[in-house]
Amino acid sequence: MLSEKDFINTVEQHQQILFKVCNMYMDTKADREDLFQEILLNAWKGSKNFKGDSKFSTWLYSVALNTAISFFKKEKKIQLTLDSASSTHLHDPSDVQQEQLEAMNKAIAELSAIDKAIVMLYLEDYSYRHVAEIMGITANNVAVKMNRIKTILKESSKKHLHQ
């Protein structure tokens, strides 16, 4: 079991994960802050169960996504901001047009909480097998869902681009 100091030091190195999840699921600074604290508290409480079978980052993703998906503190239409987009590492803004990036971010923001989690893990280069483990479904199911999400994102970002 990690001591409080070790836990904080480890989280400090992986806090980018928490920022990404908070930015993906919450639209205002205050809500992101609340979710950040909730994830951190849950991770700390659950750290005694971390046996080191998986990487700490994978475990933290799992805790963060579980917390974010069931976190219904404030009911609002989720909109991803530019600030949050930069931390999801979709593309390097210098490579793609800002408009396309914004359209893609808006499209991602419209996805369901479950689809967002799958997209986030996919963008983090997790294999379908790993995504399946974190989500608790089969790798085939992840592949099917990912194909559907790609189609939705393509259509939705096109729509946002033309607006």
Partner 1 sequence: MKKAPELADYLHGQTQSIVSTIKKNLRFEIAFAMLFLVFDCIMIILFDNIFFLRLFSILLLVFCLYFLYYLAKLLRYINIQYSLDSSVKEQLSNYIQIISRFKRLYFQLTMVMIPLMLVMAFIAGYLDHDQSGNYSISFSSQTVFIYSGLSVCWIFMMYFITRWYIKRRYGNHLDKLEKLLNDLQQSA
Task: Please give the residue ranges that form the binding site for partner 1 (CB under 8 A).
Answer: 4, 7-9, 11-12, 15, 34, 36-38, 40-46, 49-50, 59, 62-63, 65-67, 69-73, 112-115, 117, 133-137, 141, 144-145, 148
Q: Per residue in 83-99, is it b (16+ CB within 10 Å) or e — as a string?
A: ebbeebebeeeeeeeee
Q: Residue 34 or residue 124: which is nearer to partner 1 going by CB?
A: 34
Tokens of 117: 């989690």
Smallest gap, in angstroms, from Cβ of residue 1 to partner 1? 13
The pair phi, psi for residue 91, each rounded to 5°, is: -145, 160
Q: Which is nearer to partner 1, 27 or 38 (CB)?
A: 38
Residue 102 CB neighbours (<10 A): 16
Smallest distance from partner 1 to CB 21, Å:
12
The beta-strand segments (E) located in the chain are none
Smallest separation (angstroms) from partner 1 to the CB of 141: 5
